[in-house]
Chain A
Amino acid sequence: MVNLTIDGKEVKVGKTATIYEAAKEAGVHIPVLCYAKKLLPYGACRICLVEVEQMKGRLIPSCTTPATEGMVVTTMSDEIRKVRKTVLEFLLVNHVIECPVCDKGGECDLQDLTYEYEVISNRFEGEKFDLPKDEINPLIERNMNRCVLCGKCARVCDEVVGYGSYSFINRGFETKIATAFDRGLNCEFCGQCVSMCPVGAILPRPFKFKARPWQLKEVNSVCGYCGNGCTVTLGTKDNEVQTIRFNDKTGVNDGNLCIRGRFGASYVNSDKRLTSPLIRKNGELVEASWEEALETVATGLRDAGSSTGILSGARLTNEELFLVKGLAKAVGTGNLDHSGGECYKGVTQGLQETLGLQASTATFPQVENAKAILAIRTDFYETHPVFGMVVNQAVKRNDAQLTVIGDKQGKLTRMPHARTLQHKPGLEVNILNAMCRFLLDEGLAKIDGLQGVEELKVALADYSVDAVAAAAGVDAAAIKQTARELATVENAAILLAYGLPYTANSRELGLAAANLSLLTGIAGRAGSGLYLCGEKSNSQGAIDLQILPAAGALGASGMLKAASEGKLKALYVAAEDMLVSYPDKSLVEKALEKTSFVVVQDIFLSETARKADVVLPAASFAEKSGTVTNAERRIQRLNPGIKSPGQAKSDFAIFQALLSALGATAPADEAAAFAELSAATSGYEMVSLDMVGDQGYVWGSDNLAPEMRNLVAVAGGKAIEAKYQLVVGSSLYHSGTTSLHAKGPMAVVAEPYIEFGREDAAELKVVDGDLVKIKAAGGVISAKAKVDRRLPKGVLFAPYHFGALDLNRIYHGQAAIAVEVSK
């Protein structure tokens, strides 16, 4: 601790604090332009100059100078005022002052400071900047005539995002921020640079000329896409979400967002939203009243009784999921499941058998201090981008060693000194097994208190590092080195993402990852953790609430199978577009066809909804309240920012009405539902709604200790023999099928594609944009080709979000699909 005096106030701060941070702590305001909490100190703008007793004779930049013992700091004097004013005058020499047409006006740091320091004239003269604007991409507009060269954009893109779009080019007055070769911006469009720019030099294009910042109402909610659970602050006006506002005070994400969070919320304003209940009459879906629709649904479900199947998406809130359970009970069926069933259940079952848990054992911020990180699957960044940014910071700031087990290259594998164990598709488990075996053989494993060590040793006989390395095409030394690091460093993390396109070997993966986390001691140790990252915003909540089949009843795949054989009388599908996103489209089609009564509750008329008998219009995340639980077990609140279009109702209200139509009771509101569900959910017993504050509430505390430590042997996969293998996954710009209705993500990736590695592309004479046909058991799909550097020879990739691709005709949940390629 360091003691210092700032403007007469005594302050005590940590050793690493700067003068600026100390002043902030003391409640003393110092103006800044180039400082940002989440970036390393830089000292570019000199607006934060202060006087320090001990360093007389010059002014000291407070944002870069460490606070030292006994310092006496003055933050305002005539001289300071004069110098700051001069700094502003310099900045304004060539700044094109066009505040009336600049969207930053009203929240521009330069504007505010100019006003505060009364810079009404300028003693200096110079030419105004006249640089061309960068308006090539549809999401981010750059106008370097307004830049104050604070470097925040370049720094955030490098330090946090790890993309590295920008740097300063030229010297002196000519200095400017530019992309490589000064071309138009073409990056992952996370918009972090937009949120950092203190002036109007980098702005969100979808919001261009839409409104002034002071006209927007700000509502903090939670991003509706992935399980990262980032806080998004909706800027609303005229009952529309106009833009997403910067907010680094609430939640887990430090103001960081990915393209989906920042530019993907526009689907809530879409005019394609469902606005009225629909009932199928004479083969056509026609608009109907809520009374009629609810009556029809209640009758249908009552008739079907125990042969009803209920499938829920993982984007519903905890409260809504709780009512889903109530609905199943009221109908008298045990056939209940959420998203994809087997993919989620597999992983969680695996963890349950080994650790007695079904959740991450630690929180995201702990990863920043990890020394070794193992990411299973390269797509981890694509599915959980903001968590990926945390990993990037651990690597860049803490020099963490990142290892990726993946069948392709990707953003994570390109991080500094990242090690990639690039294996043949489907062999992740084998590599994890080899690591376990290595730890056991070398005596590095922390086997105290573990059960099943001997059995595991025996079972891993076939998984010697060399054998696995040879079979998977991975460097044996790298496997060993990774295992050694994970077991020996102080803090380590294992990251495992799951989701609908990753249904293969899911239980096996859960088991293998859990085994490794036990042998390395990662599970349950403070500072380390095994992270289980669900694809959807409330995947963890759905697991916690046990949206699972009752004993002896059917899960998702079981229901679909039974339904396809005509054995189910009714299907109730909430917030899922099964026809597009579930493996095996033909099975889903048949199930929908053979089931006499299908209800779909969604916000759009999805492909699945088109096949329904009754469609109920639901509300988006921006329209409802309730709680969701993110991948680190953090319970956070949703807050409504706008009203639902037309007659659409929140899923909560729909279930409520349905329950009372079925003669059951339902909680009066979300708060009452939370009270009930927390009493009934393990881990939530002690949580009350008022504990869920701005930072949410992590159930089970920051580090969750395993209930048991049981090693379970698990068999690895087998690589398939085929010249070309297609792997399925997530694209960075999309999440599930919802983002296909959002303008931002669609502006970047609007169409399905099949990705080829360069070698394959050259051999097949395929270039970007060629139409290619992919033939496999189940059918032929075709899409435009995209050639990139991520894929090894013989491996192709396709994103699963697009219904138009019909990917699930050939994707039935395999790790890799043997395909034939033709043009």
Chain B
Amino acid sequence: MFREFAKGLSITLKHLLPGNSTTVDYPKVKLEMSPRFRGLHRLVPTQTREKCVACYLCPTVCPAKCITVESAENEQGEKYPRVYKIDLLRCIFCGYCVEACPVEAIEMSDEYELANYKREDFNFEKERLLR
């Protein structure tokens, strides 16, 4: 009985030795995210404007109803999102918006550090999403 006990414990102890731990020492160390990770959204910019053309497909598909788009006409007569806003407190990071977008204007980044002190700060406006 004691032998089995020692054997088990030795495995445990082995894992306690430096270099054998799988826990990441966050926040000193950060993980490399998989390319398919669904983190904070990013609106893709072009040279002159956002790539988004305010087609309303992402707010329509969004199951959490957390995307607000308001379209308008810019000086060039193009359709653009005057307002583009995601309420991250409601977002369930399903990625449907990315899938729906006909012009690949929205992506999901590997950023997951989204904590904040105030509710309002979870409202990501267009400026914050354009990176």
Interface residues of A (CB under 8 A from B): 99-101, 105, 135, 208-212, 214-215
Contacts and interface: CB of A to CB of B under 8 A. Distances in A.
A100 B103 contact: yes
Interface stretch (B41-49, B51-59, B121-129): B51-59
Nearest to B55: A100
Contacts of B72: 209
B79 A101 contact: yes
21 contacts: A99-B55, A100-B53, A100-B57, A100-B79, A100-B103, A101-B53, A101-B54, A101-B55, A101-B78, A105-B55, A135-B77, A208-B73, A209-B71, A209-B73, A209-B79, A210-B71, A211-B71, A212-B56, A212-B60, A214-B60, A215-B56
Nearest to B82: A209
A214 B56 CA distance: 10
B102 interface: yes
Contacts of B102: 99-100
B50 to A, nearest CB: 13
Nearest to A98: B53
Residue of B54, B60, B73, B79 most packed against chain A (CB within 10 A):
B79
A66 B53 CA distance: 46
B54 A209 contact: yes
Nearest to B77: A135
Contacts of B54: 101, 209
Given A99-B102, A100-B102, 18 more contacts: A99-B55, A100-B53, A100-B103, A101-B53, A101-B54, A101-B55, A101-B78, A101-B79, A105-B55, A208-B73, A209-B71, A209-B72, A209-B79, A211-B71, A212-B56, A212-B60, A214-B60, A215-B56
Interface string B58-92: 00100000000001110001110000000000000
Residue of A210, A211, A212, A215 most packed against chain B (CB within 10 A):
A212
Contacts of A99: 55, 102
A214 B78 CA distance: 21
Contacts of A100: 53, 55, 57, 79, 102-103
A210 B69 CA distance: 11
A215 B72 CA distance: 16
Contacts of A210: 71
Nearest to A135: B77
> What does DSSP make chain A's interface, helix, strand, loop or mixed?
loop
A68 B73 CA distance: 52
A735 B60 CA distance: 39
A785 B56 CA distance: 46
Interface of B: 53-57, 60, 71-73, 77-79, 102-103
A495 B69 CA distance: 50
Contacts of B71: 209-211
Contacts of A212: 56, 60
A208 B57 CA distance: 17
Nearest to A105: B55
Nearest to A214: B60
Contacts of A101: 53-55, 78-79
Contacts of A208: 73
A364 B63 CA distance: 48
A275 B129 CA distance: 38
A399 B78 CA distance: 47
B92 to A, nearest CB: 22
B117 to A, nearest CB: 31
A724 B55 CA distance: 57
B97 to A, nearest CB: 14
A135 B103 CA distance: 26
A135 B56 CA distance: 24
Contacts of B77: 135
Q: Can you list the 3 inter-chain pairs with the closest CB atoms, starting with the nearest?
A: A100-B55, A101-B79, A209-B71
Contacts of A214: 60
Nearest to B74: A209
B55 to A, nearest CB: 4
Contacts of B78: 101
B71 to A, nearest CB: 5
A105 B57 CA distance: 10
A521 B39 CA distance: 80
Contacts of B79: 100-101, 209
A582 B71 CA distance: 43
Contacts of A209: 54, 71-73, 79
A214 B53 CA distance: 17
A702 B46 CA distance: 63
B23 to A, nearest CB: 45
Contacts of B103: 100
A211 B83 CA distance: 13
A100 B72 CA distance: 13
A592 to B, nearest CB: 43
A100 B73 CA distance: 14
A208 B73 CA distance: 8
Residue of A101, A135, A208 most packed against chain B (CB within 10 A):
A101
B118 to A, nearest CB: 26
A2 to B, nearest CB: 45
A211 B72 CA distance: 9
A139 to B, nearest CB: 15
A221 to B, nearest CB: 26
Contacts of A211: 56, 71
B119 to A, nearest CB: 23
A211 B71 CA distance: 7
Contacts of B53: 100-101
A389 to B, nearest CB: 32
A243 to B, nearest CB: 14
B67 to A, nearest CB: 13
A101 B55 CA distance: 6
A135 B73 CA distance: 13
Nearest to B56: A212
A211 B73 CA distance: 12
A479 B79 CA distance: 58
A210 B72 CA distance: 7
Contacts of A215: 56
Residue of A100, A208, A212 most packed against chain B (CB within 10 A):
A100
B81 to A, nearest CB: 10
B68 to A, nearest CB: 11
A67 to B, nearest CB: 40
Contacts of B55: 99-101, 105
